[in-house]
Amino acid sequence: MTGTARDAAVKAASERWLDADIRDFLSDSALTVGAGSPTDAGTGWKLPAGHPDPIIAAGGIPDAGTLPAQEIREALDRVLSDKPQEVLRYGGVLGFEGLRSVLAERQGRLEGLTLEPDNFIVHNGSSGCLDNLCQALLTPGDVVIVEGPSYSGTIRAIRGHMAELVEVPVEDDGLSVDGVAEAIERAESSGKRVKFVYLNPDFQNPTGTTLSEERRSDLIKLCAEHKVLIVEDATYTELYFDTEPPESIYSMANGQGVLKIGTFSKVIATGLRAGWVQARQDYIEALGRVRFDMGTSPLILHTLAEFIQSGKLDPHIKRMRPVYAEKCAVLSNSLLEHCEPYVRFNKPGGGFFFWFECIGAPAEDVARAAAEEGLLFPLGTAFFLDKEKAVDSHVRLAFSNASLRQLAEIGPRLRAAFLKVVD
């Protein structure tokens, strides 16, 4: 075949693809999960057109004005100067051992445990941890129990692994353990296997609630009885305002039957993309077995180890607690002053989120009217398994990144929104 004929044949072959539909090639997973929302991805909210002073109270991201950029740069410079070859090559399946050793020391100190580096695997944020856990634990059709409502990214990740999700209500004291017992019994009586319960027990996203100590021990007992693992997402644990949350489920259970997820995203910066699973060594070994991404960036993990070892992390977190406490208080006062009797809420004791019930109008109408006032936030229904069927009564406001001026302004804007839509 001549070069020209070959070119024509290749062109004709390529053209056969023009009307091909990618959906014919997709996995069941890709067909099931659908497109994500800005809330799942923590970014991407569009500014409302035409408003001179928009406020976006949407993503769970740290305060932009206090990011420790300078300290991170210094740590990065040091590791690049001191050990360039080491930080610029692959770092191994579990992640840089030096960082895992720092984590073992730090989590051991915080939780009163003896931990080893091999009790940790490091991933791309807690999201990477959850994906790896699902990969290692789930066979399509397994049941996973989640909180209703739950962080929307978690729902997507578990759904992407073709598990059957079952939602159990979150109450003022956190996840209903009676609800978990019923869900386990229902699944078991229909011959299904419940693999794990996923929960975010401290300053939960989106409700801001904290699981009581009593419920923690009840959950541990229940799950041990049914041999159901607990996945404890501790994303906001260290970001309490005044009072520490109760002992971790991991620590109460002495690491048996519990896999704990932690992250640097909220205590330092989401752009680091570094989080970890803390678990028994045989669990960690199993997670490593199904990791195929060649590990998390050694450059970032060395930088983090350097940042922590030079004593920068603990003071930074200590400085952030009153920053978030004040932001939360300003938002709460603004809502109390301007939005009664249209809102009902419990003030959280930490974390990034405020969850409130809209009284007198559906949350969707309130959110639409608020957008006209230049105020954006996600609807509560975004955090339930079935957004269509979920009761349209709540919204989630993130106070972590908005300025104090903006937070004080939320009450008046919401009041204007309520006045437009309440009967």
Ligand X SMILES: Cc1ncc(COP(=O)(O)O)c(C=O)c1O
Residue 132 forms beta bridges with which residues?
A: none
- Per DSSP, the three-state class of 404 is helix
C-beta closer to ligand X: residue 155 or 253:
155
C-beta closer to ligand X: residue 167 or 233:
233
What's the closest the beta carbon of residue 199 comes to ligand X, in angstroms? 9
By CB under 6 A, is residue 276 in contact with ligand X? Answer: no
Residue of the chain from 179, 257, 275, 350 that contacts ligand X (CB under 6 A) = 275
Peptide bond into 54 cis (omega under 30): no
What's the closest the beta carbon of residue 123 comes to ligand X, in angstroms? 8
Q: Which residue is nearest to ligand X (CB)?
A: 125
Q: Answer positive or negative: Cα dihedral of 309, 327, 176, 194.
A: negative
Instruction: Check residue 329 and give left, alpha or beta (phi > 0: left; psi -120 to 50: alpha).
Output: alpha
C-beta closer to ligand X: residue 187 or 267:
267
C-beta closer to ligand X: residue 233 or 409:
233
Instruction: Check residue 311 and give left, alpha or beta (phi > 0: left; psi -120 to 50: alpha).
Output: left
C-beta closer to ligand X: residue 40 or 306:
40
By CB under 6 A, is residue 152 in contact with ligand X? Answer: no
In angstroms, the Cα distances linking 13 to 9, 16, 25, 26, 137 are 6, 5, 18, 21, 42
Residue of the chain from 132, 251, 263, 400 that contacts ligand X (CB under 6 A) = 263
What's the closest the beta carbon of residue 107 comes to ligand X, in angstroms? 16
C-beta closer to ligand X: residue 334 or 381:
381
Counting residues that bind ligand X (by CB under 6 A) gives 15
Token output for 123 = 């991933």
What's the closest the beta carbon of residue 127 comes to ligand X, in angstroms? 3
| Span of 121-129, 181-189, 303-311, 395-403 interacting with ligand X by CB under 6 A | 121-129
Alpha-carbon distance of 163 to 132, in angstroms, equals: 14
Return all residues near 22 (Cβ < 8 A) that are at least 6 apart: none
Alpha-carbon distance of 123 to 297, in angstroms, equals: 9
By CB under 6 A, is residue 126 in contact with ligand X? Answer: yes
Residue of the chain from 107, 119, 132, 205 that contacts ligand X (CB under 6 A) = 205
Q: What are phi and psi of 35, to 5 degrees?
A: -75, 145
By CB under 6 A, is residue 265 in contact with ligand X? Answer: yes
Q: What share of residues in the chain are helix, strand, coil (percent, to 5)?
A: 50, 15, 40
Nearest one of 380, 373, 422 to 397, comparing CA atoms = 380
Tally Cβ neighbours within 10 Å of residue 57. Answer: 25
What's the closest the beta carbon of residue 184 comes to ligand X, in angstroms? 22
C-beta closer to ligand X: residue 128 or 411:
128
**In the stretch 12-51, what mask flags binding to ligand X with x, by CB under 6 A?**
------------------------------x---------
DSSP letter for each residue of 139-190: -TT-EEEEEES--HHHHHHHHHTTPEEEEEEEETTEE-HHHHHHHHHHHHHT
| Span of 123-131, 168-176, 223-231, 366-374 interacting with ligand X by CB under 6 A | 123-131
By CB under 6 A, is residue 125 in contact with ligand X? Answer: yes
C-beta closer to ligand X: residue 369 or 376:
376
Tally Cβ neighbours within 10 Å of residue 303. Answer: 25
What's the closest the beta carbon of residue 350 comes to ligand X, in angstroms? 13
What's the closest the beta carbon of residue 49 comes to ligand X, in angstroms? 26
Residue of the chain from 107, 119, 127, 212 that contacts ligand X (CB under 6 A) = 127
| Span of 82-90, 120-128, 171-179, 385-393 interacting with ligand X by CB under 6 A | 120-128
Contact between 36 and 151 (Cβ < 8 Å): no
Q: Looking only at residues 213 through 242 of this chain, which bind ligand X when binding is defined by CB under 6 A?
A: 233, 235
Alpha-carbon distance of 263 to 270, in angstroms, equals: 9
C-beta closer to ligand X: residue 42 or 411:
42
Burial class of residue 193 in the structure, from the number of CB atoms within 10 Å of its CB (0-12 exposed, 13-18 middle, 19+ buried) = middle
C-beta closer to ligand X: residue 167 or 373:
167
By CB under 6 A, is residue 270 in contact with ligand X? Answer: yes
Residues that bind ligand X (CB under 6 A): 42, 60, 125-127, 151, 153, 200, 205, 233, 235, 263, 265, 270, 275
